Structure 1
């Protein structure tokens, strides 16, 4: 019975641990003030409203933004809603990577938000499409998978150690001193002759 119980617990631990590690929300949290700039800007680009989008762009990048606006707007119109994939802080600003998969095509967008006159503004943005997952998103997915496997291996090793410990405790008398058995060898008896 105890062996069946241990096997049952080990299998539940292996499957349960991998299920617990699966996160339903793999998106990194984005600060409110950055969301207040990036979200309306992307909605304006998706609609094709260049003037509304330029409200959130830093003055040094407005000319470059105008050059690429039509192409980027078309890419965003045809793409699903982009979700934040990676966030990196850079000084007082942040560098964000958004990604979404549309069929077999990945749509990614990179945005750099900086403080301009104590207000967050977009200093750089770009939208691209590729056939395979962006490298940084692929690394994140690989890391989650490897972490899941490592946690399952640790759980399995811990349960195997527990099973070994239980076995040692149950059989400790046999390990320390083997069971006493009746000796069955023949004993030779010698008789001395006292006469003579």
Structure 2
């Protein structure tokens, strides 16, 4: 019937999208088999994870997701390149320095983006080792870097600045199993020792 025809068309369309994404990643030097092994929870060697590339999953896709939006989200001054698959649902973000990648990973993991949280993962180094600048330059115009040695430093105070709505939500702590005798004031005093309590 027509429902089975629709299911077949849907399956074919999904297969085409997956193949387009695979071809796009291969074009940019990604070892897709190793990446898929890591995504599927396969036997990826955790000791050889990339230190400067972050895999961004659970992107909403569509026109709201672009390499420029992701570069801005993760920090224009620290992002070297972004490879976004054609479906807009997965991206590889290469940072200028491993410390920038680690800081961004910590700050952005599970942050709300679109209708859901961002899922970040360190891909296997072997999967992204050949992610070359030449291949990436075809995809996007990288911002000029005078001499390539200048490094944008974020002041330490900026990390502790007043959080925006997304960051504030990520810093919400739910405390369970409190004694009935615990007062709100006592709880505030306890948590005030480590940071601002609202």
Q: Is the shorter-chain TM-score for this pair beyond 0.5, marking a shared fold?
A: no
Point out the structure with max Rg over C-alpha.
Answer: 1
Alignment TM-score, normalising by the size of structure 2:
0.21
Name the structure where strand makes up a greater proportion of residues: 1
Structure number with the bigger relative contact order (C-alpha 8 A, sep ≥ 6) is 2
Name the structure where helix makes up a greater proportion of residues: 1
